[in-house]
A and B are shown apart, each in its own frame.
Chain A
Amino acid sequence: MSRIGVFVCHCGENISATVDCEKVARITGELKGVEFATDYKYMCSDPGQTLLKEAIKEHKLDGVVVAACSPRMHEPTFRKACAEAGLNPFLCEMSNIREHCSWVHPKDDLTTEKAQDLVRVMVEKVKKNKALNSIKVPVTKTALVIGGGIAGIQAALDIANCGHKVIMVEKLPSIGGHMSQLSETFPTLDCSQCILTPRMVEIAQHPNITLHTFSEVESVDGFIGNFTVNIRKKSKSIDEHDCTGCGLCTTKCPQKKIPNEFERGLGFRPAIYVPFPQAVPNKPVIDRENCTYYIKGKCKVCEIVCPTKAIRFDQEDEIVEVAVGAIVLATGFDVLKSDYFPEYGYGKYKDVIDGLQFERLASASGPTQGEIRRPSDGQIPKKIVFVACAGSRDPAKGIEYCSKICCMYTAKHAMLYKHKVHDGTPYVFYMDIRAGGKMYEEFVRRTIVEDGTHYVRGRVSTIYEKNGKLTVKGADTLMGGIPIEIEADMVVLATAGVANHGAEELAQTVHVSYDAYKFFAEAHPKLKPVETNTAGIFLAGACQAPKDIPESVAAASGAAVKVAALFSNDLLTRDPLVAVVNRQAPPVYSSCVGCFLCQSVCPYQAIEREEIKNRNGEIIKTLARVNEGLCQGCGTCVALCRTKAIDIHGYSSQQVYTEVMALLND
């Protein structure tokens, strides 16, 4: 027999104005299993809670129903009070007789009856409640940061400065990401490398940070606080300890005509190379696809010239297994490939380039030492056309979103061009100017007013080459759509920012969801912008959606705080309202038949396979098992399970069916 206590709150007059609280307490007090029932003016007040605690002790209550406001408001309050009185907090339930009753109905008998019904439902439910204990999960206080761009760097430094270990994995030979390729940054025209490279060095020198460059994440297993990650360290063909980074090999390598990825194909590099002068680590790697030794079997010039004998032609990839408690994804973005723009001749005409290539031309460390010279013949372009929204906001290209950064960097490009080519004429074709941000609109104004950039509102239909000039055809929609033709020396396309190549595979490897454009999906667009749906995995920067530098940095710091908060305790405490597979001993008697339909519907990859073996080690049954660390308690698996082998604490089948029956049978 249960010993349940019912506590009906007046909430001042909020409830008692329309509900006869005394009557509710009196009637529900007569229900089977109710030991004690009372009403009180303010249950949530200090005396109200004391009343509750004393009643629990005095009447030895084994269940509590507080009929008051919404459980979304005060459930934690009353559960805590129960725990303080020695009652398991999960044996306390709330009846919502304020928001769902007294506030929405007039003062009459029906309203009081409804309140009685709602209390009765919870009395019956609480009889089926089980004492539950919070789930404790140990936490490995090491974070993995995937991606070494500005977002990854910021996240790693913030976490490391909180005193936690960080492992950073970067796919390329150097960290730095796209920001290291930029010339100057809007809206202040800070030199990008000047503000970035000190942080790159900080990463390399930080005692809490382990850096794995030229490496990729191979597999991720486990759950929040307890991930096991395999990192593939691709062979660099050099011994990192022996190499001093003198760079002699890179100057002597006979293979010198490989398009330089860092320069976006505007320059060349040897087969043994450091991506850029300020690279971290500043040690070369051998590009095996282009190295003469790997192609023809002979050369080895680098090995001969290396003063420390650090070249290792037979080096193999290495798999490193690490244990981490949290993961920050900061893999950044890519720009749309050239084959998307046949109408603009991108990829066909040398002088039609993209925004990143222009960054390299404008960069003091770029292939032209910062002089704007067109790629075809090295001439200084006197007339230049910038095309904004090249691909963005264009359903025909499959990209309906705004890439967000292009309006600003196009304005910056036009400004930089005017600063370097005083007699030049820049044109910008745009759809709308989106300059929301601190000092952004003022920056665009400066480009237009002070630097005399011609902004033409309209799209470019086609670009073709004629007499060594690029004819740009478009329309000016602010002049009634009159056609415009400009004979330009160079065209810069602000190509859309897209998800990084391989983002989909990585999302599947680390088990996070992604959107239709392959950008990683946040747990909530407003309130959980840096969390993913997988507990313990966070997002930073443009891997989530196009972001500019300040936004990426802010998101990275946000993600770092989430990680630091997770690491602030040795044990992670979670609500035990999770799914559970029935598994009475011996487990072969579980009604789970191992169909694993639950696995396919679980949004959190919380369903694992458990193999039951006999004493000979033969598998006699495979069961589903819920990983309590991952389960978020949605219960989709419960409704789906064909054999009703899976149930959920707090909303068990017994509880909800009891509620329905109690509600309808007074």
Chain B
Amino acid sequence: MQEFEPKIVAFVCNWCTYAGADLTGTSRIKYSANVKIIRFPCTGRIDFMILMKAFENGADGIIVSGCHPNDCHYSTGNFHARRRWIVFRNLLNFAGIETDRIQFSWVSAAEGFKWADVVNNTVKKIKEFGPNESYKQIAVSTLFNEEGATHE
């Protein structure tokens, strides 16, 4: 059987983590190709419903990363993201969604090595978890009726 290759989406801010990932590239540090980055102006822009959208579309893991506290390009966006994540995580736990599949981290524009570590550790962790079947089950039970007709 082919090895499980998880699909992981990274939501990162333009100013710190995106630039940090650029530095990983310029430093030629290798990391797993499973993670693909979507650029945001700031972690404060990340509406966490988009994380649900990613799971719904088959993501096995998610990384959210921005500037370290007090380093935000817009001064406070990352604090809003952090606060939102604390609340959102409780809600997800309540709903029975595996929050361990979401990795929240701070990676600065100078932390090329850290970005590779974050990616590799997340990929390793998600590989251990296996495919994100539990979300599909929750989604199936809520979005599909018993006959299997789609909600659309």
Residues on A close to B: CB < 8 A?
70-73, 96, 98-101, 103-106, 110-111, 113-114, 117-118, 121, 513, 521, 524, 533, 577, 601, 603-604, 632-636, 638-640, 648, 650-651, 653, 656-657, 659-661, 663-665
Q: What are the residues of chain A within 8 A of B38 when measuring CB–CB?
A: 121, 656, 659-660, 663
Asked whether any CB of chain A lies closer than 8 Å to the CB of B104, the reply is: no
Q: Can you list 27 A-B pairs, Cβ within 8 angstroms, ordered by A?
A: A70-B25, A71-B39, A72-B14, A72-B18, A99-B21, A99-B22, A99-B24, A100-B22, A101-B33, A106-B30, A110-B5, A111-B33, A117-B36, A604-B74, A633-B41, A634-B73, A635-B40, A635-B42, A638-B47, A648-B45, A651-B40, A653-B47, A663-B9, A664-B9, A664-B54, A665-B57, A665-B58
User: Is B50 within 8 A of A110, CB to CB?
Assistant: no
Which chain B residues (30-80) contact chain A, with CB distance < 8 Å? 30-31, 33, 36-42, 44-48, 50, 53-54, 57-59, 73-77, 80
User: Is A114 within 8 A of B36, CB to CB?
Assistant: yes
> How distant is the Cα of A650 from the Cα of B41 in the complex, in angstroms?
9
Known: A70-B22, A661-B53. A104 touches B28 (CB 8 A): yes
Known: A117-B36, A603-B75. A100 touches B21 (CB 8 A): yes
Q: What are the residues of chain A within 8 A of B48 when measuring CB–CB?
A: 639
Among B26, B29, B45, B58: residue with most chain A CB under 10 A:
B45
> How distant is the Cα of A118 from the Cα of B21 in the complex, in angstroms?
15
User: Is B36 within 8 A of A103, CB to CB?
Assistant: no
User: Is B33 within 8 A of A96, CB to CB?
Assistant: no
Nearest CB on A from B89, distance (A): 16
Asked whether any CB of chain A lies closer than 8 Å to the CB of B84, the reply is: yes
User: Is B30 within 8 A of A72, CB to CB?
Assistant: no
User: Is B45 within 8 A of A635, CB to CB?
Assistant: yes
A-B contact count (CB 8 A): 128
User: Is A636 within 8 A of B42, CB to CB?
Assistant: yes
> How distant is the Cα of A118 from the Cα of B37 in the complex, in angstroms?
8
Chain B residue with the shortest CB-CB distance to A524:
B73
Chain B interface size band reads 35 or more
Q: What are the residues of chain A within 8 A of B25 when measuring CB–CB?
A: 70, 98-100, 103-104
> How distant is the Cα of A104 from the Cα of B50 in the complex, in angstroms?
26
Known: A70-B25, A639-B47, A660-B53. A104 touches B116 (CB 8 A): yes
Partner of A104, one of B14, B30, B74: B30
Partner of A103, one of B5, B28, B45: B28
Partner of B75, one of A103, A104, A533, A648: A533
Q: What are the residues of chain B within 8 A of A650 when measuring CB–CB?
A: 41
Known: A72-B19, A639-B47. A103 touches B42 (CB 8 A): no
Nearest CB on A from B108, distance (A): 12
Partner of B45, one of A104, A634, A665: A634
> How distant is the Cα of A665 from the Cα of B81 in the complex, in angstroms?
27
Please give me the 5 A-B residue pairs with the lowest Cβ-Cβ distance, nearest first: A99-B25, A635-B45, A636-B44, A634-B74, A664-B57
Q: What are the residues of chain A within 8 A of B37 when measuring CB–CB?
A: 96, 100
Q: What are the residues of chain B within 8 A of A657 when measuring CB–CB?
A: 50, 53
User: Is B74 within 8 A of A632, CB to CB?
Assistant: yes
Nearest CB on A from B21, distance (A): 6
Known: A70-B22, A660-B9. A601 touches B76 (CB 8 A): yes
Q: What are the residues of chain B within 8 A of A524 when measuring CB–CB?
A: 73
Asked whether any CB of chain A lies closer than 8 Å to the CB of B101, the reply is: no
User: Is B9 within 8 A of A639, CB to CB?
Assistant: no
> How distant is the Cα of A603 from the Cα of B24 in the complex, in angstroms?
30
> How distant is the Cα of A138 from the Cα of B46 in the complex, in angstroms?
32
User: Is B28 within 8 A of A513, CB to CB?
Assistant: no
Nearest CB on A from B77, distance (A): 5
User: Is B80 within 8 A of A601, CB to CB?
Assistant: yes
Nearest CB on B from A514, distance (A): 12
> How distant is the Cα of A601 from the Cα of B44 in the complex, in angstroms?
10
Known: A121-B38, A603-B74, A664-B58. 14 other contacts (CB 8 A): A96-B22, A98-B25, A99-B21, A99-B22, A104-B116, A118-B36, A634-B45, A635-B41, A636-B42, A636-B80, A648-B41, A650-B41, A661-B57, A664-B57
Q: What are the residues of chain A within 8 A of B19 when measuring CB–CB?
A: 72
> How distant is the Cα of A638 from the Cα of B74 in the complex, in angstroms?
14
